[in-house]
Structure 1
Amino acid sequence: MRVLHELQTRGPGIAYGNGRSYGDQCLHPGGVIWHTAGLDHFSHWNPDTGVLTCEAGVLLQDIQRLLGPRGWMLPVTPGTQLVTVGGAIANDVHGKNHHALGSFGDHVLRLWLARSDGEWIECGPTQQSPWFAATVGGMGLTGVIVRAQLQLRRVAGPWLDTETIPYSSLEEFFALADDSEAAWEHTVGWIDCLTGGVSSGTRGIFMRANPSAARGGAIPQPKERRMLFTPPVSLVNRLTLRPFNAAYYHLQRSRAGRAVQHHEAFLYPLDGLLEWNRMYGPRGFYQYQSVVPPHARLDATHAMLREIARSGEGSFLAVLKTFGDRSTRGLLSFPRPGTTLALDFPNRSERTLRLFDRLDAIVLEAGGALYPAKDARMPRHVFEAGYPRWHEFLPMRDAGMSSAMSRRLFGS
């Protein structure tokens, strides 16, 4: 097989799907990258059971748009459809419905893994399960995922019954999240991180949704909008952040209440503008996404927001979600019971990195972790504290797989 030949004759390297990770796990400066875009074939589809076998380079968007009209969709997707199946497995991605349906790896039945020593491994939750546990969330370091078998879910249509609720404190957010968990499949909050980090001043928007049998009107035709240029400086800065956040809050507040919404608009709002990352200018941005356990969620979130406020930095894309009380299949999977906060910061070099060091200390004290899929600077000690099973992962690692992230976290 050509994939095995490539792995044996050229390397070490790392698989690269569609490049949607915000971090450096699919980068290999000065080394080999295996682009999996050509592995984009559907191998088998069972319309009675919803079991799909496809190659790892297939985009989640392709699955949704092909099989959604036939009554089947992926149970779990992240905030963008423009990621590959292989990347979704390697990061064990999660969506807005973790409390209801877990993470992406919970719906993988089998996967096929090519190793640089020429070995071909077929594994699943009950078949060679140690290999499966190491590969789900394994950052592409156990080999190249070539093919996967996925369990899709039956759906009545592409619509969601949604509700938008403004909130004015973290306590109110957590009350909404807790009250929504039993009755709503999707829950997520946007938070205005510039409003203080104190209980009386942290405003935001809480959104929840359920699959709907209703027809919400004509299905929107996909429109490709692009950020056509990279401005010389970040458009997200001290002058723009406060009016950006205020405008977004008041716009969403004006839409408060119930509505029927197409699932793409609710689940993938950023896919409406391709190359949106260009708004951060030539220096780009960092995303900082953490998870803290339930007992620490209020104090740790308050502390992070206070630290951000004191730093003078801020984030427009600030997402607050709760994870359900569910175990994960991957040794290095990020989702776990608790609260996750995701923040985007313009890259201001050392100033931004010093803020992250202070946030790291809060996360570590709370017993939390950072998300490797969104990380480009996590120190090794922070990774090891957040992923205590990392030593179980090391024997499963492929010596022919190496990335910028693996060198930072594992030394090679």
Structure 2
Amino acid sequence: MSRSVKGTLSGWANFPKETGYMYRPEKYKDLREILQSKSQVHYISRGLGRSYGDTALNNQGGIIMHTRFNRFLYFDDQSQVLECEAGVTFREIIEVFLPRGYALPVTPGTKYVTVGGAIANDVHGKNHHRDGSLSSHILDINVLTSSGEIMNCSRQENQDLFWATIGGIGLTGIILSTRIKLMKVESAFIQVDYKKAGHLDEAIDMLNETEELYQYSVAWIDCLSRNRMMGRSVLMLGNHASKDQVEINEPLSLKNRRKLKVPFNLPAFVLNPYSIKAFNSFYYRRFKNTSGVFVDYDSFFYPLDVILSWNRIYGKTGFIQYQVVFPLETSRQGLTKVLEKLSRARCSSFLGVLKRFGESGNGLLSFPRKGYSLSLDIPFRGGDRLLTFIRELDELVLGYGGVLYLAKDSLMTPSTFAIMYPELSAFQEIKAKFDPEGLFSSSMARRLNIVGDIG
């Protein structure tokens, strides 16, 4: 049986940091043996650790690493369906299949995620307004339950387990493999139009007006600008380019980007309201309204992946990643109030991202729903003062019907979570059905009272 190694882990935000017992199994029988051994009271699966908070942490519990379950099992050219193990990364899918003319149907802002982790968080991308979240493209999932049974679940078979597992942050069982439908493309380039918006209302209007024209739309937003410039943005609107448009000999070839690296945690003083305000001003001014720019696949979808360990920019104390979605009817007011609060508090964020979401998915704990989403990064400074600020921000978000993303969260309270996710009780019933002893748990699950504090 795979043995455990005690160690300290964190999410990508480097907050919080917790101790757990890590297992690196290589075969499915190893997984069964780990679960049956009762060596730990509870376990959680972990991929590459790119969720930000405590989703894949399990303080003083078992953590099952999935990086060795990374085989491609089958691919059908005609149906465009890929079957693979949960430890396969998006990077591996891109490197193998994009040169053959197939792209991921949905991707978050990094390719360094596993398929299992992406399903467990029901990830979304720049095309949610058109193509939904990852769950829209998953045909079925094989899940190892706490009893040791492998169950195939889909929209037709074991539907309750399917919709609880998608977005279920690893609490229903261990995702072993899946079938996902890829997207046919002619090139490894996106044709992008850049448009500048002078303030939040203009950015929202432009995203509304262009949603039918572009498969991909996202806006970088200045979260520190004030008054009439509050929420000024740079919109990046794109569609897949055809092979005739790019006019190169190998339109599906991947561009080699030179990687940079942040070798150590930067001192806390590097990121402050003054430095981030200066960066935001520079970033906004460097763009001009431009149409028809051809951007390679990696640069468009994964701009930060070129900087290895970019999370170290925030220093050893880490940062808070905060993503909210407001319903369409309250988006303008809710986003305005959030930006006003951030600006007044001089709460720094230089990775502010604004997106339009389409229809909600069906995952019981899935995050995306129709409206506008704002994603922020906030350096973890000030301890109790920051915690008080986040609590106030949560109350504001609740007042406008907003919902926070579990993959980014590290500070939400159980009461806030229960209001934001009204399907919680239905999820808990399904979890109890397939995991009656509560073998699958995590620090987040206990913090939010999704599961009880076992052991």
Q: For this structure pair, what is the TM-score category when the shorter chain's length is used for normalisation? A: over 0.9
Retained in 1: the 8 A contact 2:365–2:423? yes
Task: Name the SS of the counterpart of 1:372 in structure 2.
Answer: coil
The 5-angstrom pairing of residues 26-175 of structure 1 reads 26-175=56-205
1:327 counterpart residue number? 360
Cα deviation for residue 32 of structure 1 reads 0.7
1:252 counterpart residue number? 287
Retained in 2: the 8 A contact 1:320–1:339? yes
Retained in 1: the 8 A contact 2:135–2:166? yes
- For normalisation by structure 1, the TM-score amounts to 0.96
2:241 counterpart residue number? 212
228-237 or 108-117: bigger deviation: 228-237
Whether 1:18 and 2:40 are equivalent positions in the alignment is no
Task: Name the SS of the counterpart of 1:322 in structure 2.
Answer: strand
Q: Which residue of 350, 361, 377 corresponds with 1:316?
A: 350
In 1, Cα distance between the equivalents of 2:80 and 2:49? 28
Whether 1:233 and 2:268 are equivalent positions in the alignment is yes
The 5-angstrom pairing of residues 329-368 of structure 1 reads 329-348=362-381, 349-368=383-402
2:24 counterpart residue number? none
1:406 counterpart residue number? 445
Cα deviation for residue 15 of structure 1 reads 0.3
In 1, Cα distance between the equivalents of 2:137 and 2:410? 28
Task: Name the SS of the counterpart of 1:373 in structure 2.
Answer: coil
In 2, Cα distance between the equivalents of 1:396 and 1:271? 37
Q: Percent identity?
A: 38
Retained in 1: the 8 A contact 2:222–2:280? yes
Task: Name the SS of the counterpart of 1:221 in structure 2.
Answer: coil
1:285 counterpart residue number? 319
Cα deviation for residue 204 of structure 1 reads 1.4
Whether 1:3 and 2:31 are equivalent positions in the alignment is yes
Retained in 1: the 8 A contact 2:224–2:230? no
In 2, Cα distance between the equivalents of 1:376 and 1:117? 30
In 2, Cα distance between the equivalents of 1:41 and 1:35? 15
User: CA 1:234–1:344 in structure 2 vs 1: closer, same or farther (change >3 Å)?
Assistant: farther
Q: 1:100-121 CA distances to partner (integer Å, 9 max, x unpaired)?
A: 1100011111111112222221
The 5-angstrom pairing of residues 389-400 of structure 1 reads 389-397=423-431, 398=435, 399-400=438-439
Retained in 2: the 8 A contact 1:216–1:261? no
Q: 1:198-248 CA distances to partner (integer Å, 9 max, x unpaired)?
A: 455431101100011022657421433211111232522123111111111
Retained in 2: the 8 A contact 1:17–1:83? yes
Cα deviation for residue 312 of structure 1 reads 1.9
Q: Which residue of 333, 336, 339 corresponds with 1:299?
A: 333
Cα deviation for residue 264 of structure 1 reads 1.2
208-217 or 301-310: bigger deviation: 208-217
Question: Could you tell me which amino acid in structure 1 is paired with residue 246 of structure 2?
Answer: R
Question: Could you tell me which amino acid in structure 2 is paired with residue 293 of structure 1?
Answer: P
In 2, Cα distance between the equivalents of 1:38 and 1:15? 12
Retained in 1: the 8 A contact 2:230–2:339? no
Retained in 2: the 8 A contact 1:4–1:115? no
Question: Could you tell me which amino acid in structure 2 is paired with residue 288 of structure 1?
Answer: Y
User: CA 1:46–1:5 in structure 2 vs 1: closer, same or farther (change >3 Å)?
Assistant: same
Q: 1:69-91 CA distances to partner (integer Å, 9 max, x unpaired)?
A: 11111100101111000000000
Retained in 1: the 8 A contact 2:106–2:125? yes
In 2, Cα distance between the equivalents of 1:216 and 1:243? 38
334-343 or 118-127: bigger deviation: 118-127
Question: Could you tell me which amino acid in structure 1 is paired with residue 302 of structure 2?
Answer: Y
In 1, Cα distance between the equivalents of 2:125 and 2:172? 24
2:422 counterpart residue number? 388
The unaligned stretches of length 5 or more in structure 2 are 1-28
Cα deviation for residue 18 of structure 1 reads 0.3
Question: Could you tell me which amino acid in structure 2 is paired with residue 204 of structure 1?
Answer: S
Question: Could you tell me which amino acid in structure 2 is paired with residue 409 of structure 1?
Answer: L
Task: Name the SS of the counterpart of 1:206 in structure 2.
Answer: strand
- For normalisation by structure 2, the TM-score amounts to 0.87
Cα deviation for residue 151 of structure 1 reads 0.7
* Number of residue pairs matched by the alignment: 409
Retained in 1: the 8 A contact 2:356–2:371? yes
Retained in 2: the 8 A contact 1:164–1:207? yes
In 2, Cα distance between the equivalents of 1:246 and 1:216? 35
The unaligned stretches of length 5 or more in structure 1 are none
1:185 counterpart residue number? 215
Cα deviation for residue 306 of structure 1 reads 0.6
Retained in 2: the 8 A contact 1:288–1:342? yes
Cα deviation for residue 281 of structure 1 reads 0.5
2:259 counterpart residue number? 224
Question: Could you tell me which amino acid in structure 2 is paired with residue 315 of structure 1?
Answer: S
In 2, Cα distance between the equivalents of 1:405 and 1:242? 33
In 2, Cα distance between the equivalents of 1:319 and 1:380? 26
